[in-house]
Amino acid sequence: MQQHFHWQGLDPSTRGASVAMGNFDGVHRGHQSVIDLARGPAPLGIITFEPHPRQFFAPDTAPFRLMNAEARANRLARLGVQHLFQLPFDATLAGLTPEGFVTEVLSDGLGIAHVVVGADFCFGKGRKGTAQDLATLCATKGIRTTIAPLVADNGTEISSTNIRRALTEGRPRDAAAMLGHWHRIEGEVLHGEKRGRELGYPTANMSVDGLHLPKLGVYAVLVDILTGPQAGSYDGAASLGVRPMFGENRPNLETFLFDFKGDLYGQHLSVALVDFLRPELKFDGLPALITQMDADCTKARNILSAL
């Protein structure tokens, strides 16, 4: 998959794509239905925005994203996307009228042939443009438009909001049913305090800054090492939280990979939350903590072996 970070100055070979357009936070089943409608003989593309427009307009809002840009790109690549147009959402883009966006970005800039959006899509300065406005404006530029219906499951709309709610309540399998894939946290393995190593449970530490936090606690997880000589898939158990035993207060993700030996610092991991095992606890001492970690890993192994 080729990634492009502006709508200007692109190679002419990128023109003529059939694209799905939106924020695609989570790349859930509703998003996938939009993407599927863009598939055809033309190269398949995605138009999305970074940062998320909500972050641009309300930078102090609580973290809400299900995916960082890296995780979103990885998921879109798995879906066969050939061109990812990740446009910078800044004052220039936010200030374009609906007419200006269609002319400057979609037609003159990207030269797309077909665009697909969800029925609730809004665009242009002040979010004044609707999906139907997009179709009308694109028709004047010779761009075909498809408006995808919203997707529901058993009467419940599949949305990023409902997925966030499931994760907040510790229901990762319900979130996965709406996503069409496991909810994953992806990023670089960072240096930590190395306490896990001293306890016999060395962990890969990852930041969750900027992401919506699922329920804090311990999870059974599936882990993909995405980079480095030890790339591959592993089972594991992960703790998402603030480590109350050690007086920490900044959440992070600490993952123990079963049957793995090696150094993962600087490598990129994708950690899929499969089942919530228990909430975060504070123990009376290290022996009690280790006993609980033994039990957590046994439970996680049993759950993952049944997948």
* Catalytic annotation, residues: 254
Q: What is the DSSP string of the chain?
A: -EEE--SSS--GGGTT-EEEES--SS--HHHHHHHHHH-SSSPEEEEEEES-HHHHH-TTSPP-BSS-HHHHHHHHHHTT-SEEEEEE-SHHHHT--HHHIIIIIIIIII--SEEEEETT-EESGGG-EEHHHHHHHHHTTT-EEEEEPP-EETTEE--HHHHHHHHHTT-HHHHHHHHTS-EEEEEE-B----HHHHTT---EEEE-TTBPPPPSEEEEEEEEE-SSTT-EEEEEEEEEE--GGGT--S-EEEEEETT--S--TT-EEEEEEEEEEEE----SSHHHHHHHHHHHHHHHHHHHHT-
Q: Rounded CA gap, 287 and 258, in Å?
A: 21
Q: Rounded CA gap, 184 and 29, in Å?
A: 15
Residue 98 dihedral angles phi and psi, to the nearest 5° = -55, -45
